[in-house]
Amino acid sequence: MSEENELPNGWAWTTLGDILPIQYGKGLVETIRDRGGQVPVYGSSGVVGVHNQALTSKATLIIGRKGSIGSVHYSPVPCWPIDTTYFVEESANTDLKFFLYLLSFLKLSQLDKSTAIPGLSRSDYNPVAIKLASNATVPLSSKPLSRENSPRPGVLLNIPRPNLLPNC
């Protein structure tokens, strides 16, 4: 194995398709949305309206599929991701806020291969290789570091980015 591909103990290679499988959003034209509803409706550029019914049942990560491809949005409540998006619902093994930051860092918009309307395909998303630390070895947290939640109160951690996500 080359030095470039060697990983620290507790790290492993995986792909986005394996660690964070995505589902297609579902169409919901503006004319049939209930504007008095409380459920956010997400398009690839973020919230585009409200409705009275949710497509998801939990907190959701929304990824732009057409138009604003690769844009990443987090909904802390059930929502309706429309057909210009992909989405992932929260699960016991998925820290959506961590993946919000990771996907934003990866700049998925660079996977666009279309000629007319920008688009992100699952066949381009799924094989993206990433390196992740095991939660048992290196705890991952989506909490922003501050002086209050630092392991050493009053001291911010100074960890170089390559040690957090080497060669991503």
Tens-digit pLDDT profile for residues 90-148: 998 888 999 999 999 999 999 988 878 889 999 999 999 998 887 533 344 445 544 44
Predicted local confidence at residue 66, as pLDDT: 94
State the total domains in the chain.
1
More confident residue, 58 or 147: 58
User: What is the DSSP pairing of strand 72-75 with strand 80-81?
Assistant: unpaired
Predicted local confidence at residue 47, as pLDDT: 97
**CATH number of the domain that 116 lies in?**
3.90.220.20
Say how many C-beta atoms besides its own lie within 10 A of residue 14's C-beta: 13
Predicted local confidence at residue 73, as pLDDT: 97
Cα–Cα–Cα angle for 65, 15, 74, nearest 5°? 45
Backbone angle region of 65, left / alpha / beta, with phi > 0 → left and psi within -120 to 50 → alpha? alpha
Domain with 54 in it: 3-164
Question: Which residue carries 């591909």 as its tokens?
Answer: 5
Tokens encoding 16: 């986005």
pLDDT in tens, 13-43: 899 999 999 999 999 999 999 999 999 999 9
Q: Which residues of 59-88 are buried (b: 16+ CB within 10 A; e: fewer)?
A: bbbbbbbbebbbbbbbbeebbbbbebbbbb
